[in-house]
Amino acid sequence: MSFDLVDGWFAARFSPNPTLANLAERIMDKIVYSIIFPLVAVGIMWRLIFISPGHTRPELLHAIFILILCVIVLIRDNFAHFIRSFAIQRGQEPELREFTRLRTIVAAPVGALLYAHAFYVPDGSGILYSWVSWLGSLSLRTLFIIEIVFLVINLGSIAGYCRKYGTYCLDDICDSDDLLRRRILSFFPNSLTIMNAIMGFLAVFFTYQGRIKEAYLILIGATIFDKLDGALARKLGLTELLASETPKISIGSILDDFADAISFCIAPAWIFYIILSDAHNNLISQLPIGFAALFYLILGIGRLVYFTLDKNPIPGFFKGMPTPAAALLVTAPLIIFNQSISDSPQLVYFWGVFCFATIIAAGLVMNLYPVKYLHLGRLMSRHPRVGQISLLLLLSVFTPYFGYITFTYMLLYLLSPIITGRIDPAIAARETKNIA
């Protein structure tokens, strides 16, 4: 993989253009990637069965995640050659200097790391073994972070190829069939929607590991994917009907509601139940924790159904608090509660009751349809400084005040209709069209 980078740089610098260069590069890439990453997938399963026969649930999930990651790496490699072939057929040579080279740069060390971890045998001997043995004992948390970043880079590489060469591919496959073109293009926003749902499951997983801050950050990632899928669908023109189509509920909107239900209804309720159930406090155990979680879940799904079937939306506003904001509002005080267990035991009951009241209130506010909430994502698009301030506030994750800051932020949004309710929806609609 290192030589793959060097030959790419050499070709970009000196432009030798030999006849068989592309074929040779493709063959070598297939040999390297089709050997290393399948070996990693097999090695992880071997480690799980023979080295860790008493494996835990997180170790099993990690092995499954690596299997999925290796499949995506191989798909990306074949997809890159496939989509570039359409540009070559049109007489356009693929660019040699690409952002997608970042994937090649990262693939080498990640592949080596996963290989060392997969085939790590405890109590080995030798100088070389002593140099690399620490790679086999990295924590699951560290491995998950590295693998998630690598997964995002691979998906970003696929997106980069689609942006560069996707038009050639669609022109060749679809010809003049607009309906087929739309069906193919709908795959991309739907993929972001699925990533939204995956983030919800990951948030629950990190909560089981006691990493509530990381779970909150993952939920923020889910809200970002929730914004991006709609923005991409509008950018690709998928929200507008063709002349031959009749208005109906699309598969994309159903999939979006399904992902929102996982990340912003099921996941927050599940996280709430996990955190409060593990508090080992007699007073908190008397609270109807399961009822509160189920109450929020049902009202959240009810709100999603209403949002899908609503025929009279208010331009630029949500009717009631949107589910992503409600999820972040519910989860923020759980960070404070989890922190108080070790830092301030005398406040555990107070924060437990506070979290209980918050999840009940969030479920109700989601369904207060006469109350208008501004689109926070569109507000950030209209006023970039709001987004910049929000990113700066995320740096508080490295401080003990992260829970307090995020809850204050969401509390301000909860109370925002006091001010934003005075905005004329017609003005908000015009601003939204200008942004689009």
Per-residue pLDDT tens for 24-68?
Answer: 556 666 666 778 888 888 998 888 888 778 878 888 888 888 999
Contact 325, 393 (CB under 8 A): no
CA dist., res. 260 & res. 312, Å (int): 21
Rounded mean pLDDT, 89-99: 61
Per-residue pLDDT tens for 175-226?
Answer: 777 778 888 888 888 888 998 999 999 899 889 888 899 899 999 999 999 9
Q: How many domains is the chain partitioned into structurally?
A: 2
Per-residue pLDDT tens for 152-174?
Answer: 888 888 888 888 888 888 888 88
Per-residue pLDDT tens for 244-253?
Answer: 666 666 777 8
CA dist., res. 257 & res. 304, Å (int): 6
49 found inside a domain = yes
Q: 428 and 305 in one domain? A: yes
pLDDT classification of 435: cutoffs 50, 70, 90? very low
Token pair 């208010």 in the structure block, residue: 314
Whether pLDDT at 99 is above 50: no
**Domain span holding position 68:** 1-185
Q: 330 and 181 in one domain? A: no
Q: 383 and 281 in one domain? A: yes
227 found inside a domain = no
Domain boundary among 185, 209, 240: 185
232 found inside a domain = no
Q: 373 and 276 in one domain? A: yes
Q: Which of 14-23, 66-75, 221-230 has the weakest average pLDDT?
A: 14-23
219 found inside a domain = no
Domain boundary among 185, 212, 227: 185
